[in-house]
Amino acid sequence: MARASRWLSGTSYLQKWLVLGVLIGTMAGVGAIVFYEALLACTHFFLGVLAGYHVPTPVGEGGHAASASFSRPWALPLVVGFGALLGAILVFRFAPEAQGHGTDAAISAVHHNPRGIRFRAVIVKIVASALTIGSGGSGGREGPTGQISAGFASLLARELDLSPADARIAVMAGIGSGIGAIFGAPLGGAVLATEILYRDDFDAEALLPSFVASILGYVIFGAAVGYTPLFGFNASYHFTNPSHLLWFALIGILGGFVGLLYAKGFYGISDIFGRLHLPRWSKPAIGGVIVGCIGLAIPEVLGTGYGWIQQGLGHQLLTLPLWIVLILPFARILATGLSIGSGGSGGIFGPGMVIGAFIGASVWRLFEPIVPSMGHNPAPFVIVGMMCCFGSISRAPLAVMLMVAEMTGSLSILAPAMIAVGLAWFIVRRGDDTIYRSQLKNRADAPAQRLLTGMPILSIVSVGQAMATPRVVVTGGTTVRAARHQIEQAGVTGAPVIDDQGRFEGSVALADLRALEQGSDRVLESVVDVSAPTVAGQAHLDVALDALTTSAEHWVTVLDAERKVLGTVAISDVVRGYRLGLLASLQQVNAVGEPGGTDRVRIESDSPLVGRTLRHSGFPISVIVTTIQRRQDLVVPDGSTVLEAGDELLLIGQSSDIDVVRRIAAGRASDPGGHRPREDHG
């Protein structure tokens, strides 16, 4: 792994992402196959054998029809509740982070800790989701498969010591390739990976790696399951009648508002379950029993529902009672909230497609008898409904349009569908709502991006210049008691952990060791955080700061090419390095410009500046206060910052004006000497 890590860090962008993309895509395809087969087995056993009911399947999965009735209707609520109970016990016993719809957790990992997805959670997610959905719970397949491949990408990032930026791209590619594989939509999956992270932005850096991973995942999954689009080929529609745009616009408006209802209803039900004072594992079982009762009257809410979409695409739609077609979007919202919002495991993309499909089907069923120009084919209206409803509330309209087009084999519908998707997106965007709460508004809101944008100088200072020698390094095999004693003696909050050959294994926090008072004789490896971010000694401080934003501690370990510990770098070291870079930059500016510079100025107790705000300090207008060191704290100044005795100001400006401030700070002058004061500071 060390050799592979060195090769990746030194190779070209294309070679690196071809290799990583192939690895991620392979796991995405294999993971999708494993989950698909597990879901089929659970569906057959729980609904087919125990409940005596067979759900319909889409063309890509055989195109089987639904059972005409329930052979054991009394068993259905018990079966749905039992499957949800088994999944919940598994989740809350072994990997609580696997609860819910999975995609949100993967998005959060990209933003905050791309190396931190436990592989245990991946295994638990496969089994728990298969149990929940296979027993009749309303959920989709995309969340589990996205989390499976994202988890493998996270493992890869840990083992290969990928930089924080590369780790984020790897997890993004994992999300897209897993979803693209399970839906047979590689292009849409790749675009989804770059679009789903933000409400109003797009991450182009992940596009090429996602292409590589997504196409390979699709090829591997298709080799086992087949390459027929999930809903078959529905390419018979050709846009020839401009009046259809009015109906598409109506579907778009309805899709936007129902999408808002989906998000608010889902999280509203989730909040209700969150307030119940019951064991967490019991809540999905309660939701499952209720879904089973609803399913007795409306069996279309059971399972993924993809087979019912298939019926909606053809004339079988006319065989469904009108009241079922009209009520199904709202019944699916309720059932998904009860199944997944209660703490169950499954995706919410799939139910969103069912909801949108029957919005389009409702419009066609209501108006086709009285408006002959709509035509006798419901497929275009159903497809547009699928695109606009979830495309808007997921804030990923382009990706969802492409995915639905690939799943239905109907690329010709994209152009007229744009009006529906655009209207739905504007309705959702007006309220700034989304179904994925981990999404950020844009890239500027990402933790690392927000810091790095304001401190570009960090990219010229190496980690080796700023790092500190670690006060303590703990060797693997040490007991918890001994490790805690070493760390307490050193007076730090944690330490790197190395193996017998001196190679980095992870880090351990003092708080975690203290929490294991009863297990103080345990071997340390059981509590080591193997996902702790690291940074290479030859990297620059912008990479270190990026790693710090994903660390649970205020420091990260610095490693050499052999994964041996060189030192640690903390926030204070980054600040010191920033000052070094700032001084170096100013020296370069002074060499070609007017005399100027930077200096530290200490405010003495008898200075007239004590107690004043920066806004009223009267500093010369050329002087900028970049930071204030106040005892152990670093203060980022603004106009309302009150100066205190002992503050150390880092100033930038003309040398003569800095000398004026120095005299005032030392108490040797009463004002800046007639210089025009600044109006504000920021």
DSSP string, 23-61: HHHHHHHHHHHHHHHHHHHHHIIIIIIIS-------GGG
Mean pLDDT by 10 residues, the chain (682 residues): 75 89 94 94 94 92 88 93 94 84 84 84 91 94 87 89 87 93 93 92 90 95 92 83 91 95 94 92 94 95 94 89 95 95 90 95 93 87 94 93 92 90 92 86 73 64 84 83 86 86 85 72 76 83 81 84 85 77 61 59 89 85 79 74 88 81 78 44 40
Structure tokens of 172? 């993004």
User: Among 142, 60, 661, which residue's Cα sits nearest to residue 409?
Assistant: 60
Of 541, 574, 607, the residue that ends a domain is 574
Question: 605: left (phi > 0), else alpha (psi -120 to 50), else beta?
Answer: alpha
- What does the alpha-carbon distance between residue 326 and residue 362 come to, in Å, rounded to a whole number? 6
- The CA-based angle 146-151-157, given to 5 degrees, is 125
Task: Report yes or no on 155 lying in a domain.
Answer: yes
Same domain, yes or no: 104 and 220:
yes
CATH number of the domain residue 501 falls in:
3.10.580.10
Phi–psi pair at 668, nearest 5 degrees: -100, 5
What does the DSSP assignment read for 70-125?
-SSTTHHHHHHHHHHHHHHHHHHHH-GGG-BTSHHHHHHHHHH-TT---HHHHHHH
Query: Does 58 reside within a domain?
Result: no
Same domain, 565 and 627: no
* pLDDT score, position 681: 41
Q: What are phi and psi of 353, to 5 degrees?
A: -65, -40
Residue 502 is classified by DSSP as S
Strand, helix or coil for residue 391: helix
Domain that holds residue 338: 18-53+74-443
User: How many domains does the chain fold into?
Assistant: 3
Answer whether residue 506 is part of any domain: yes
User: 500: exposed, middle or buried (C-beta count within 10 Å: 0-12, 13-18, 19+)?
Assistant: exposed
pTM, rounded to two decimals:
0.79
* Same-domain check for residues 410 and 487: no
**Is 493 inside any structural domain?**
yes
Are 506 and 439 in a shared domain?
no
Instruction: Show the 3-state SS of 276-343.
Output: CCCCCCHHHHHHHHHHHHHHHHCHHHCCCCHHHHHHHCCHHHHHCCHHHHHHHHHHHHHHHHHHHHCC
pLDDT at 270: 93
Which residue shows structure tokens 């994964």?
563
Residue 287 lies in a domain: yes
From 443, 464, 495, the end of a domain falls on 443
Cβ atoms within 10 Å, residue 673: 12
Place of tokens 């190679």: 503
Establish if 407 belongs to a structural domain.
Answer: yes
Burial 173-208, CB ≥16 within 10 A → b, else e: bbbbbbbbbbbbbbbbbbbbbbbbbbbebbbeebbb
Cβ atoms < 10 Å from Cβ of 302: 28
Which domain CATH number covers 661?
3.30.70.1450
**438 & 514 share domain:** no
Instruction: For residue 18, give both structure tokens.
Output: 């071809």
Measured in degrees and rounded to the nearest 5, phi and psi for residue 589 equal -65, -40
pLDDT number for residue 357: 95
- 629: helix, strand or coil: strand
Beta bridge partners of 558: 535, 567
45 and 189 assigned to the same domain: yes
H runs (alpha helix) in 529-648 = 541-549, 571-592
Reference 105, options 160, 57, 48, 148; nearest CA is 148
Which of 515, 545, 574 lies at the terminal end of a domain, its last residue?
574
Residue pointed to by tokens 């790197």 = 496
**Same domain assignment for residues 231 and 243:** yes
Structure tokens at 600: 């530290």
Q: Per the structure block, which two tokens stand in for 195?
A: 């679009």
The verdict on residue 335 lying in a domain is yes
CA dihedral 302→305→310→315, nearest 10 degrees, is 40
Q: Are 260 and 431 in contact (CB under 8 A)?
A: yes
**For the domain that residue 296 is a member of, what is the CATH number?**
1.10.3080.10
Residue 288: name the closest of 473, 132, 456 by CA: 132
Q: Are residues 468 and 438 in the same domain?
A: no
425 vs 416: CA distance, rounded Å: 15
Cα angle value 319/323/329 (rounded, 5°)? 100
Helix, strand, coil percentages for the chain (3-state, nearest 5): 60, 10, 30
Does 433 share its domain with 460? Answer: no
User: Do 300 and 156 sit in the same domain of this protein?
Assistant: yes
Sign of the torsion formed by the C-alpha atoms of 494, 495, 496 and 499: negative
In whole angstroms, what is the distance from residue 450 CA to residue 34 CA? 39
Q: Say if residue 341 is in the same domain as residue 424.
A: yes
Helix (H) or strand (E) holding 628: strand 624-630
Residue 629, domain member (yes or no) = yes
Compute the distance between CA of residue 67 and CA of residue 274 in angstroms, rounded to an integer: 35
Indicate the burial class of 592 (C-beta count within 10 angstroms; 0-12, 13-18, 19 or more): exposed
Tokens of residue 38, six digits: 């597990």
Give, in order, the Cα–Cα distances in Å from 204 to each of 207, 409, 471: 5, 26, 41
- Asked whether the beta carbons of 122 and 152 are under 8 A apart, the reply is yes
String of DSSP letters for 421-438: HHHHHHHHHHTT--S-TT
Residues 434 and 453 in one domain: no
Take residue 105 and report the two structure tokens written for it.
Answer: 């957790």
Query: Rounded to whole angstroms, how far apart are CA atoms 254 and 257?
Result: 5
Please say whether the dihedral angle defined by the alpha carbons of residues 254, 257, 260 and 264, taken in this order, is positive or negative. Answer: negative
Contacts of 7 (CB under 8 A, 6+ apart): none
How far apart (Å, rounded) are the C-alpha atoms in residues 637 and 648? 12
